Amino acid sequence: MVVSLCNPCSRYGDALKPRIGDEPVDHASQSQMVTRSGRHNLVVRPADAGDDRLLFDWVNRPDSLAYMLKTEGAVAWADHQRWFDARLRDDDSAIWIGELDQRPAGQVRLQRSTRGLVVAIYVDPGSRRRGVASGLLRHADAQAAIR
Ligand SMILES: CC(C)(COP(=O)(O)OP(=O)(O)OC[C@H]1O[C@@H](n2cnc3c(N)ncnc32)[C@H](O)[C@@H]1OP(=O)(O)O)[C@@H](O)C(=O)NCCC(=O)NCCS
């Protein structure tokens, strides 16, 4: 089974020309959000090997699988491990984790392809409508611009 991008519903425009391969500058970012449910702190950091289980859990959620282009059905653990390990070593790929109030809340991935930069994003249902996706995209946008 091939783990693939979710539907590239949100593709960055030509304005973003990341020079992936240059020395990466990948700092965590932090932002404060005030929503109907109160004040929230969002930290966005690069994904690392310790996020394998978290991303495995998210990728197999029905509302995540629904957006996969090539993957049919649930992703097996061994396939996920192979895929994630390759992404961490892939200069054309970058994954960030958003932590809302110190709990994992969502992920965003940029993948450079022949079609340009493709965005895949997922926010945990319990953390939605609090600006997590917006914060993740802002971070990815800023990182893409300096790579
Ligand atoms: C789509 C998704 C990433 C949004 O995450 P989120 O953290 O809830 O988004 P935000 O809180 O940053 O929302 C920003 C704005 O997007 C819009 N938005 C978000 N979810 C929406 C929804 N379900 N319906 C309509 N508009 C929505 C709203 O304008 C929202 O602003 P508001 O809350 O002030 O009205 C999340 O619902 C998700 O992971 N869904 C399943 C996977 C998916 O659909 N991925 C996208 C395809 S690749």
For tokens 């593709």, the residue is 11
Q: Cβ(134) to ligand 1 under 6 A?
A: yes
The topology (CATH level 3) of 29-146 is Aminopeptidase (3.40.630)
Beta strands in the chain (DSSP E): 10-11, 29-35, 38-46, 93-100, 103-113, 116-123
- Indicate if the alpha-carbon torsion angle 117, 130, 48, 80 is positive or negative: negative
Q: What is the pLDDT of residue 2?
A: 34
Which one-letter amino acid corresponds to residue 61?
A: R
State pTM to two decimals: 0.83
pLDDT tens across 39-81, in order?
Answer: 889 999 999 999 999 999 999 999 999 888 777 789 999 999 9
Q: Please report the atom of ligand 1 found closest to the CA of residue 10.
A: 48
Task: Give the atom of ligand 1 at the shortest distance from the alpha carbon of 6.
Answer: 48
Query: Ligand 1, residues 4, 7, 119, 128: which to mutate, most atoms within 8 A of Cβ?
Result: 128
Q: Where are the domains of the chain?
A: 29-146
